[in-house]
Amino acid sequence: MNEQLPELFRKIIILNELGGNMKYVLSFSDADGVRSGKSGWSFGVVQFDLSNNALAAACLRECAFTEDEIHGLITQTIDPKPLEEKLAAHADVVERYDQHQLEGCLDRATELLESNGITPADDTAFLAVADMANQYSPRTVDKLIAHLGTLGQPFKAIDVLDFKLEYTPYGQAHDGDCKRRYMNILKVMQNQ
């Protein structure tokens, strides 16, 4: 792996998950935007989704959050603002979990592509898969890998975007966000 990829991937995630604004790392945000409880509150560089990422709850436990607080954040039945001070007091823990998630996404992308004999056309294509590993469930990422395997050529980042738009409910409902994420990947890679 290119030794610059972890730092480039971090930059991509900061743009994609935080809009480039680091003030959101140690605060809680609503991933689905409608306080439905579907995603729960999110936090960190990778925007740990409390309802869909077991690492999120583990991180909060290590930050001294109680089970009642964690449950309230998952179900969005408590005000998260008073708890942000506790999150900020454990910034080192959040950073460690963020780093673990970022490395895990890169490792998962590498493992899936290599084990399936799929070659990215370039680092941009590889990082598009890693970004998807951060945003989507493992099952959806597995479907992406199967799809990429049918292309019969090294795949490009645009192939990952096309998969999202055509085959995922999120991509079909939020094509603008998917395109924004794709453009952020291109932007970071062009400025490296």
pLDDT at 34: 45
Domain finish residue from 64, 95, 126: 95
pLDDT at 33: 53
112 and 170 inside one domain: yes
48 and 114 inside one domain: no
CB 125 within 8 A of CB 159: yes
Predicted structure pTM score: 0.91
47 and 126 inside one domain: no
pLDDT at 38: 54
Where do the H-state alpha helices sit in the chain? 5-18, 54-62, 67-75, 84-89, 91-115, 123-135, 138-149, 157-167, 169-173, 175-190
The rounded distance, in Å, linking the Cα atoms of 56 and 42 is 8
147 and 168 inside one domain: yes
Domain finish residue from 35, 62, 95: 95
Domain assignment present for residue 10? The answer is no
- pLDDT < 50 positions in the chain: 34-37
Both structure tokens of 170: 């999120």
77 and 113 inside one domain: no
45 and 90 inside one domain: yes
pLDDT at 36: 42
Domain assignment present for residue 12? The answer is no
Range of the domain at 79: 17-95
DSSP result, 35-51: --SSS-EEETTTTEETT
The CA-based diameter of the chain, rounded to the nearest angstrom, is 52
